[in-house]
Amino acid sequence: MYDVPDLTGTFAVVTGANSGTGREAARRLAAAGAHVVMAVRTVAKGEAARAEILAEHPGTHLEVRRVDLADLASVQEFADGIVATGTPLDLLVNNAGVMAPPTRMTTADGFELQFGSNFLGPFALTVRLLPALLAADAPRVATMSSGTANMGRIDFADLQSERRYGPMRAYAQSKLADLMLARQLADLAVERGWALTSIAAHPGYTRTNLQTAGASLGRDKPKRSLLTSLDFLPTQGVGQGTEPLLFAAADPRAEQGAYYGPSKRFGLVGPTAPARITKRALDPASNARLWAEAERLTDVRLPVHVA
């Protein structure tokens, strides 16, 4: 079990913190001393998760705040609330996501649900939180990608999957976009001399409700996505599967722009190690183009005083 270093005095935000890897990350970051904002879409579920964590770790500092990454107005309201506290934000963990809805669905702003929730929402949140992040001494942004990013393609002519929608195709594109987001943010930090570190991670094949929640949208009965219904693939529990994200979020050895994931059996299970970055996320021009497109779509840009 990975031992998270002491985080006493650290202020952190974890999205999707009511279940799965987000809940586990919030639990272990708080247990290491961080004050954790559990950013969740459904407050009641967040409060239930908070109560469970407090029962296990009395005295930890956790608060629940609502954010819906599929609604840019909600993202702005949440980010404005964090910035308004005046507290430097040491850590942002972009964890929340949706996987493989069977039919094309859209966000509150009309984006394809996976591209909007998994990439555009976290992009807007990250950029809006930059004033709080850059007020910290050594801020860090850890973004959850996926092994499916290796199969992803950024279709700039059809980012919203309007011409052709495939559940896993759209998911892979969104998670590749997350990896490219982490890489571009790292490049921007280096270019502008920010103290910020941007790192990506993936959980391998970790058993959470991610595999059923998205695939069950619009259906009468729970269903798993095609990829995750392959029962011969090795899997791991949420404790092990969250460790690459925790390493990216808190470990002093994690490097700028790096990518971490499980190290055993096709990168699906095992201890954390550097993960191979697909060449599609190693192209600075493509990363910059995607960032610019995200700015255009969300109308969220670098704050003037940090741009």
Active site residues: 171
Centre a 10 Å sphere on the Cβ of residue 264 and count the other Cβ atoms it contains.
Answer: 13
277's CB contacts (< 8 A; 6+ apart) are: 179, 183, 259
Centre a 10 Å sphere on the Cβ of residue 16 and count the other Cβ atoms it contains.
Answer: 28
Q: How far is CA 266 from CA 3, 244, 263, in A?
A: 24, 15, 8
Give buried/exposed letters for 23-57 (b at 16+ CB in 10 A, else e). bbbbbbbbbbbbbbbbbbbeeebbbebbeebeeee
What is the separation of C-alpha 207 from the centre of its chain, rounded to a whole number of angstroms? 17
Centre a 10 Å sphere on the Cβ of residue 265 and count the other Cβ atoms it contains.
Answer: 14
